[in-house]
Amino acid sequence: MRIRIATRGSKLSLIQTRIVMDMIRRIEPNIQFEIVIVKTTGDIVQDKPLYAIGVKGIFEKEVNLALLRNEADIAVHSLKDLPSEISPGLVLAGFSPRDPPYDVLVTRNDGPNNLASLPSGARVGTSSVRRRAFLLNVRRDLAIDVIRGNVDTRVNKLINGQYDAIIVAEAGLTRLFEDPRKVGIKYWRIPLDVLPPAPGQGIVAIVAREKDTDLVDLLTKASDPRARIEALAERAFLRSVGGGCHVPVGGIAVHDGHNLEFIAGIADIDGRRKRIIRVLGSPDNPENVGIKAANELLAGWSR
């Protein structure tokens, strides 16, 4: 059996593709893979922040088109990059084990150790409206500037002194750099109740055609059960709040083996106020937990 995998061509995307290949091979060791590289609008347009490009699901659409055109059999994504609804005819069929879901503050090895120790006026790079809003809530004195490019490109801009710090997902950073200090950087995890992550952060998702039932069954068997439960809760939350990657909303489900806790937050675009909530529920019905978290988060919140 041969599976064609559509993916972006960045170093991180190819690492995530290898994660998926290893997952599938644990179930079916003899499968052969072909990688289909897709260049997306988000990869091509590097001179604008993501929210200004005006394409919903900017890293998803073109990659998934390869499936709809029968140029590939599955597509690999960072789950956090997928909008709340994907293209008709496609289904989220697989989920990798979750890497740490935190956002992290990254500085040079000789730089500050955490958010509190950044000097006033420090230039911090992020392309996320969510990260910007929650960061401004705790440090209004920072200069938060747009930074574009793949994670390794952003790290190079930090090392070269264009920024005093950057904020990225820990999962992407550690997939790229086994020991960040060896390339001249260090990082500090930002607590979930200070900066709630994007739904799906830390999970690699696999999209397939809904009609390819045998392949969907294989991907389901290859999936991590805990990540699947957390992902279903977070996707339901994302749909319920009506947000995408350009809304200052974050949320994460944490399955401890017994309960499912959902931590969620919303902030004004300028960070002047925020709301953080925690909801407990059953992992037997993760979508209900995500919907409950969204309803409680939005209750009484006037945007």
Residues with catalytic annotation? 81
Query: Which residue, among 10, 6, 128, 132, has the nearest Cα to 70 in the 3D structure?
Result: 6
| Region label for 184, one of left (φ > 0), alpha (ψ between -120 and 50) or beta (otherwise) | left
Provide the 8-state DSSP code for 181: G
Provide the 8-state DSSP code for 245: T
Query: What is the rounded distance in angstroms from the CA atom of residue 66 to the CA atom of residue 25?
Result: 22
Using the Cα atoms of residue 125, residue 142, residue 174 and residue 84 in order, give the sign of their dihedral: negative
Query: What is the rounded distance in angstroms from the CA atom of residue 214 to the CA atom of residue 219?
Result: 9
- The tokens for 172 are 């992407």
- The tokens for 113 are 């150790």
First and final C-alpha spacing in the chain: 51
Q: Which residue has the tokens 């106020």?
A: 273
For 262, what's the count of Cα atoms within 13 Å in the CB-facing half-sphere? 35
Query: What is the rounded distance in angstroms from the CA atom of residue 219 to the CA atom of residue 91?
Result: 11
Query: What is the rounded distance in angstroms from the CA atom of residue 120 to the CA atom of residue 140?
Result: 9
Residues forming a β-bridge with 166: 106, 125
The Cα diameter of the chain in Å comes to 57
Query: What is the rounded distance in angstroms from the CA atom of residue 194 to the CA atom of residue 68?
Result: 39
Find all residues with CB under 8 Å of 244, minimum gap 6, and list them: 56, 57, 83, 84, 238
